[in-house]
Every structure is written in structure tokens, then in C-alpha cells.
Structure 1
Amino acid sequence: MKLSRIISLTSVLIASTSVMAESGGDKVFEKMMQANNAAMQKYAAKEGKSAPIVKDYQYGMKLDVVKVVSVTPPIKSCEVVPSQMTYEDSRGQLTTLRYSVAGECRTRGG
């Protein structure tokens, strides 16, 4: 049951990236991030855990990742775009890490 919810969340996030590619707006991406945050809060409540702590990634940061719960996919853009990953550490604490990734660049004709 847990796996099916994670798969459905991932499907929604992937589908929303195609909408984002068409509109190209920061507002759409922000809504996608908010939807992911809401889903992670629901996940935490269901698992009996505290809501995820949100941290901004810094180079060299030590990460204690035991289980990846969610990753927002990069948008279709030829720029650096924000993303986030929620994971569980060895103490069972949920953390959402915000970071930047290269967008999925599509060129015309390719």
C-alpha cells in the first residue's frame, strides 16, 4: 500500500513536469513543490513521524540517507532548476533537502 502511494505521487510529479514544460512558469514549479511538501507531511503523519525538516544543500554537507521517500523530477529546461528530495535518516527522522539540478534540456529537432 505504501509503495502504491509513492508510485502514484511520483506519477503526479512526473505528469506535472510536462505541464511545466508547456507553461514554463515558476508558479507551476512552486505549486509542484508545495504539492510534494503536502504529500510528505501526509506521509509523515501516516508513518507516525514528525513532518520533514527542510534544509538547503550546501557543498560538502554530510548526509545520512537510509531511505529515499520522494524526489521531485527536474523540469524540461536548459537552465539550472530547483529540486528537492525527502529522505529518512538512520534515526528515522524525515528531512527534505532542497538543491539545484540541471534541467532536462531539449533542443529543437533532437
Structure 2
Amino acid sequence: MKRLIPLTLAATLGIAGTAWAQSYPSQEAEEVQAVDYHYGMSLDVQKVIHITDNSDKVGVVPATIIFLDSNGKLHKVNYLELGRYDSGD
């Protein structure tokens, strides 16, 4: 029973976040100029709209985060992230 509660909570939050992200006007997000992240760059992230899903990728892969800052302004930042580890099996 104790294991079921965290799984249920994670599933509920995941579905709610996906529904909100899908309801956000994607055209507005597409019109925002993307900037490349650099080390030490200050990010004012109030609400995440979208993050690239690289769960099926291996190694270092490009990703994008779209978010609202504390003033409600939309931002798009490109960065590199490490995909899942592949042992080669």
C-alpha cells in the first residue's frame, strides 16, 4: 500500500502537467526566439511549459525547455542533456 501512494501521486501529477502543457498556445511558444544555454546562465523559471522528452535517446542529446518567468514572459532555451545509459546489451 505504501508503494502505491507515490506511484498514484506521480501518475496524477504527470497527467495534470501534460494536460496543462497541451492546453498552452503552441503557436505562441513557436514564435519565441530560442537561446542557447551557457554555463552559469541565470534562469527565472516560474512555470515549465514543455521539456523535450529524450527518454528514448542515448548519450548527449539536444533538448529544449519552454517556460514562463516570474513576470509571465515566455522563454525557450536550448541545452544539452545526457540521455539514458545504454550498456550495449
Range of TM-score over shorter length: 0.5 to 0.7
Size of the aligned set, in residue pairs, is 72
Asked if residue 91 in structure 1 is aligned to residue 71 in structure 2, the reply is yes
Kindly report which structure 2 residues correspond to 1:50-65, keeping only aligned pairs within 5 A, or say none. Answer: 51-65=31-45
Q: In structure 2, what residue type is equivalent to 1:73?
A: D
Q: In structure 2, what residue type is equivalent to 1:76?
A: K
**Normalising to structure 1: TM-score of the pair?**
0.53
Kindly report which structure 2 residues correspond to 1:1-110, keeping only aligned pairs within 5 A, or say none. Answer: 4=19, 6=21, 40-41=26-27, 44=28, 51-74=31-54, 75-77=56-58, 79-109=59-89
**Normalising to structure 2: TM-score of the pair?**
0.63
Between the aligned residues of both structures, percent identity stands at 34
Greater radius of gyration (CA):
2
Name whichever structure is richer in helix by fraction. Answer: 1
Runs of 4+ more than 4 Å apart: none
Q: How big is each residue's C-alpha offset from its partner over 1:64-108, in whole Å with a ceiling of 9 and x where there is no partner? A: 11100000022421x211001000011211111100001112224
Unaligned 5+ residue runs, structure 2?
1-16
Counterpart secondary structure, 2:57: coil
Inter-CA distance 4–51: structure 2 relative to 1 (3 Å threshold): same
Q: In structure 1, what residue type is equivalent to 2:26?
A: M
Counterpart secondary structure, 1:4: helix
Unaligned 5+ residue runs, structure 1?
9-38
Name whichever structure is richer in strand by fraction. Answer: 2
